[in-house]
Amino acid sequence: ASVMEKILQRKSVRMRNLQRAWQDSPEGMKMLAFRKSLPAYKEKERLLSAIARNQVVVISGETGCGKTTQLPQYILESEIESGRGAFCSIICTQPRRISAMAVAERVSTERGENLGESVGYKVRLEGVKGKNTHLLFCTSGILLRRLLGDRNLNGITHVFVDEIHERGMNEDFLLIVLKDLLPRRRDLRLILMSATLNAELFSSFFGGAPTIHIPGFTYPVRTHFLEDILEMTGYKLTSFNQIDDYGQEKLWKTQRQLLPRKRKNQITTLVEEAFNKSSFETYSSRARDSLACWNPDCIGFNLIEAVLCHICRKERPGAVLVFMTGWDDISCLRDQLKAHPLLGDPNRVLLLTCHGSMATSEQKLIFEKPPPNVRKIVLATNMAEASITINDIVFVVDCGKAKETTYDALNNTPCLLPSWISQASARQRRGRAGRVQPGECYHLYPRCVYDAFAEYQLPELLRTPLNSLCLQIKSLQLGTIGEFLSAALQPPEPLAVQNAVDFLKKIGALDERENLTNLGKYLSMLPVDPKLGKMLIMGAVFRCLDPILTVVSGLSVRDPFLLPQEKKDLAGTAKSRFSAKDYSDHMALVRAYEGWKDAEREGSAYEYCWRNFLSAQTLQAIHSLRKQFTYILRDAGLLDGDAGISNNLSHNQSLVRAIICSGLFPGMASVVHREKSLSFKTMDDGQVLLYVNSVNARYQTIPYPWLVFGEKVKVNTVFIRDSTGVSDSILILFGGALTHGVSKGHLKMLDDYIDFFMDPSLAECYWNLKEELDRLIQK
Ligand code: ADP
Ligand code: MG
């Protein structure tokens, strides 16, 4: 045996001793007893032998049966026990960063260790992992990134791809890549894990891989639909307007056919009213107003409140899980409930939230037992549907919707709005109530609406823009984009693929022959949307990274400007104070962030946020993301080791505007002035509207011919969210041209561009830095 081999053998012995010591300790035994009570344990031997004998195994089982925390751990334990611990390297992917972190933490605890010993995690921009880590939980995005540098996953012995039933884009993508890799790595084991029973689909994708089902035990859950809930709570619906938030055009249409057969009770009358044209239009315009948010004045929140009161007053003890659509709603509802005499009383109710961007400390609270006689209520996004299991839930309140991006390939527009969940999701949500004792589930929609739900949700690959994905296909050298994607479980539309390729060509990440350019290579190294990646690179090269870091972090976290429904005007005015005469939401964000930093220094950050309708939590997240982007840029060689980020050109407003444009291009709309009113036209699909909270929505005139924007969102009409005004010269200089390399003809055109020379500072830095940019991009 080689020296290396000997070292590993010795290490394996140490690992085994540690493991046995824990298993023999009193706490270890207690933990083991708990683990043995999970349904997965009964299948342990069968699972291990199936994995040993087959390269691919598909495993399904009820949420909470122990797939994620137990199966990878079984492999680790058995390898360690057989004295091969140091030779194995197990990866388990999760669709969301928060579940990767939570699960790693949990498995460490179950093994009596600290995080970062034998078990670690890695998510975008963060991770805990040591030289003894042999089981790594990571997001599926991280594994894809790893494949970038290591196409054969050398050294990895087992890959678990978890939650494949969700059909996330990264998971679907991973499956194609791994399928391609398996023949080259005969010794690699691939285990797919899924919560629902469509295991056959995945098994046949891998040429009939064996499937194992873990039978789980759950208690019966009593189901209540809106009809029953109204009766039970005495809640009165007074008009159609009160149920419109459940409505969505398509579903109502489906409903129309179902209705005549339904009982003519109060609900169906109301639903029928909805088909009456005028009220339908009211619905549409109101939905547009609230831009895909639930309107807290509406039934949504008040009904939830009524149901929660009912549970607290009349029902047996047990925690409550409320499924909402997103962070905005959750925080609005939480504020509303906090003001309630019963639900807001901390001696009687422990009100918690569970969503993708919560802090770790908050995360731990959800799993803890509340004090006696205090009822735990968790407001959650659909994250709590499958990836996170809260043990003591007895009551589930399901709003029936989840925020989902859909993609309108024809208009090349992502649409983000709460849409109805599928029947599979509704069942999954209901199941969360029956884990420890018989439970109750309150669906806040009529039974007939449930019947009209789709059976399963559409895979993400078929409902999102494919820009990042196509960039990754190229950087992983997986061949022609179209051909590669046609091997997917359910391939996306050719038009969607074409749009993505065109986009990557436009921003200069791919050349005419679909080959990756140097810019494209850099972009694939940055874990952000290609647009934002480009903005960062340009910010670094042009020495104005400081404000650009804020813009990019803001765009990748979420908008820190709050827009409470009942104070829209005040909030809008507060935001516009940050815009000066910039005509830019992005620069308003930079000012707001900088003001917050100053306020923090003076100890008045809280007041500052309150006064300006800013979310301190979001600003904090932006702050830490800024730091992380700096590290990555440094790693990628785009930033000198010791050069600070607040470099000399950060205060050059036109330059910052230009860099924003370079990232957001080709997202642009022309500003059309008519008498007294403004309208906006994009290149492809005509008229767009500005989001109510955009600073640019408050002007009568805008002294720029163009607005660049990052995102078009379709909610009945197409909206643009954040925008920045730019001039013709900026658009020509920083839009497409730079990254394609500037041709002689182009330079001539620029020379002729008078506007350009009217801004000498911009001209100067352009010429000074163009050489550097060329050098970098050629590298
Ligand atoms: P699955 O992946 O099959 O949905 P998990 O492996 O995530 O199930 O969870 C199995 C069980 O482990 C859960 O039912 C719960 O009892 C327990 N568990 C998981 N995470 C935690 C945690 N952070 N704290 C306490 N118990 C947990
Ligand atoms: Mg799981």
Q: pLDDT, tens digit, for every residue of 671-695?
A: 888 877 888 988 765 788 998 889 9
Model confidence pTM above 0.90? no
H helix intervals, 476-584:
481-485, 494-506, 518-525, 530-541, 545-556, 568-576
Decide: helix, strand or coil at residue 539. Answer: helix
Pick the ligand that lies closest to the CA of residue 366. Answer: 1
Q: Residue 268 in contact with residue 237, Cβ under 8 Å?
A: no
Closest ligand 1 atom, residue 386 Cα: 4
For ligand 1, mutation pick of 101, 213, 389 (most atoms within 8 Å of CB)? 389
**Residue with CA at minimum distance from ligand 1 atom 23:** 106
Surface-to-core class of residue 534, CB atoms within 10 Å of its CB (0-12 exposed, 13-18 middle, 19+ buried): buried
* Backbone dihedral angles phi then psi of residue 677, each to the nearest 5 degrees: -135, 160
Query: What pLDDT was estimated at residue 176?
Result: 94
Whose C-alpha lies nearest to ligand 1, atom 13?
64
Residue 617 has pLDDT above 90, yes or no: no
Kindly state the tokens that stand for 679: 């309208």
Half-sphere exposure of 705 (CA within 13 A, CB side): 7
Q: What is the mean pLDDT of residues 326-342?
A: 85
Pocket residues: Cβ below 6 A from ligand 1: 38, 61, 63-70, 102, 106, 367, 389, 391
The SS3 call for residue 111 is: coil
Residue nearest to atom 10 of ligand 1 (CA): 66
pLDDT at residue 366 greater than cutoff 80: yes
Half-sphere exposure for 374 (CA within 13 Å, toward CB): 15
Partners of 419 in beta bridges = 402
Report d(CA 296, CA 270) in Å as an integer. 20
pLDDT surpasses 80 at 772:
no
pLDDT at 203: 94
| pLDDT value of residue 278 | 36
Ligand 1 atom having least distance to the Cα of 70? 6
Query: What's the CA gap between 194 and 190, in Å, rounded?
Result: 13
Q: What pLDDT score was predicted for residue 643?
A: 55
C-alpha 59 to ligand 2 mean position (Å): 11
Minimum mean pLDDT range among 325-334, 501-510, 618-627: 325-334
Q: From ligand 1's centre to the CA of 433, what distance in Å?
A: 15
Indicate which ligand has the atom closest to the C-alpha of 391: 1
Distance 17 CA to ligand 2 centre (A): 29
All residues at 6 or more sequence positions from 297 whose CB lies less than 8 Å from its CB, including other chains: 565, 566
Pairing of strands 90-94, 56-61: unpaired
CA 593 to centroid of ligand 2, rounded, Å: 37
pLDDT the model gives residue 767:
56
Q: Tell whether the model's pLDDT for residue 444 goes beyond 50.
A: yes
Identify the nearest ligand to the CA of 428 by its number.
Answer: 1
- Cα–ligand 1 centroid distance for 588 (angstroms): 43
- Any idea which of 108-117, 305-314, 733-742 has the lowest mean pLDDT? 733-742
Residue 629 and residue 536 in contact, taking contact as beta carbons nearer than 8 Å: yes
pLDDT category at 323 given cuts 50, 70, 90 is very high
Number of the ligand closest to the Cα of 64:
1
pLDDT single digits (tens) 500-554? 999 898 888 888 899 998 888 888 888 888 889 989 988 887 788 999 999 999 9
Quick one: pLDDT at residue 251?
35
Using 50, 70 and 90 to split pLDDT, how confident is the model at 473? very high
CA-CA-CA-CA torsion for 759, 760, 761, 762, nearest 10 degrees?
A: 60
Q: What is the pLDDT of residues 220-271, one digit of tens each?
A: 999 998 778 877 887 765 443 334 333 333 333 333 333 333 333 333 344 4
Nearest atom in ligand 1 to 62's CA? 3
- The 10s digit of each residue's pLDDT in 132-152 is 999 999 999 999 989 878 889
* pLDDT, averaged across the chain: 82
Q: Is the pLDDT of residue 573 over 50?
A: yes
CA of 645 to the centre of ligand 2 (A): 40
Q: Name the least confident of 248-257, 455-464, 501-510, 644-653.
A: 248-257
Beta strands 393-398; 439-443: pairing state: parallel
Residue whose CA lies nearest to ligand 1 atom number 5 = 66
pLDDT tens per residue, range 261-299 = 333 333 334 443 433 333 333 433 333 333 223 333 344
Span 742-757, average pLDDT: 45
Find the ligand nearest to 35 CA: 1
Q: How far is the CA of 66 from the centre of ligand 2 (A)?
A: 7
